[in-house]
Amino acid sequence: MDGALTVGQVADELGVTVRTLHHYDELGLLVPSGRSAAGYRLYTAEDLQRLSSIVLYRRLGFGLEQVGELLVADGAARIEQLRRQRDEVRARLAQMTGLVDAIEHALEAEMTQRPATTEDLRAIFGDGFGEEYQTEAQERWGHTPQWEQSRQRTAHFTPGRWQEIKDETEALEQAAAAAVREGVDPDSPHGREIAERHRESIEVFYDCSHEFQVGLAQMYLADPRFTAHYDERQPGLAQWLHDAIVANAAR
């Protein structure tokens, strides 16, 4: 019996914890063959053999109760259990594969439905969406109620929403440019329609009365950067848009 090992030695040998050995002892799954005078558990080579079987079956995912059954079962029963276990693990495997897909799905949804980040905006609007402009705009209008309202609303805009906004602005400006080229009167039904569409595109951000819109129109003529933006697309567009907005506001 001098070959008998204590819990710590067995634990090191087989890669389990001491607590695990205690646990198996409690359950009667692996009761050490002997005890020292002081009550130390003493494991023989046979015990180690049994433990290594237990460890093997545990690694295969069996519960302790099933491990106990496997140890006393004959070959045919063991094979049957192993097959069952394999099938069960395969089933869980399939279900986890589905889980990964579900997570991917949620991830994609989150990516598109989450409020847009600064990077998203740069990706959509290009690098022209620079910090300098942002800073200046904040200084100019940061104290207005419209700015505050816009800030609150856009905080929840998704990348998809921003893309829609860009598309609508683009379409609007193209329609206005076409009207200028075709010599459409700003104070015609079509001219006023475009002015109204412009107001709606602004109302996405904040409540925009006709009066406020007229103020914007005046700025488009007063601030050369706005004027340039419109006239680059179509010479005379800034003036035409201003006139249409004024005409629409006067009804």
Report, in angstroms and rounded to the nearest whole number, the Rg of the chain calculated over CA atoms.
Answer: 38
- Shortest Å distance, C-beta 106 to its own copies: 6
Position among 13, 45, 49, 65 found at the interface with DNA (CB under 7 A): 65
- Shortest Å distance, C-beta 134 to DNA: 42
Q: Which of 114, 205, 204 is nearest to 158 (CA)?
A: 114
- If you search the block for the tokens 């496997």, which residue do you land on? 70
- Shortest Å distance, C-beta 121 to its own copies: 14
Task: Check binding of 97 to its own copies (CB under 8 A).
Answer: yes
CB nearer to DNA: give 18 or 216.
18
Beta-carbon contacts of residue 150 (< 8 Å; ≥ 6 apart): 205, 206
Position among 106, 137, 219, 222 found at the interface with its own copies (CB under 8 A): 106
Task: Check binding of 117 to its own copies (CB under 8 A).
Answer: yes
- If you search the block for the tokens 């090992």, which residue do you land on? 5
DSSP string, 147-205: HHHHHHHHTT--HHHHHHHHHHHHHHHHHHHHHHHTT--TTSHHHHHHHHHHHHHHHTT
CA distance 167 to 24: 68
Whether 246 contacts 217, CB under 8 Å = yes
Restricting to residues 26-85, which ones interact with its own copies according to CB under 8 A?
56, 59-61, 74-76, 78-79, 82-83, 85
CA distance 228 to 236: 10
Residue 23: name its binding partner from DNA, its own copies, none (Cβ under 5 to 8 Å by kind). DNA
CB nearer to its own copies: give 2 or 110.
110
Position among 14, 31, 33, 40 found at the interface with DNA (CB under 7 A): 40
Restricting to residues 17-36, which ones interact with DNA according to CB under 7 A?
17-20, 22-23, 36
For 60, the 3-state DSSP assignment is coil
CA distance 35 to 50: 17
Position among 27, 96, 137, 171 found at the interface with its own copies (CB under 8 A): 96
CA distance 86 to 187: 79
Task: Check binding of 1 to DNA (CB under 7 A).
Answer: no
CB nearer to its own copies: give 110 or 182.
110
Residues near DNA (CB under 7 A): 6-9, 11, 17-20, 22-23, 36-41, 58, 63-65
Residues near its own copies (CB under 8 A): 56, 59-61, 74-76, 78-79, 82-83, 85-86, 89-90, 92-93, 96-97, 99-100, 102-104, 106-107, 110-111, 114-115, 117
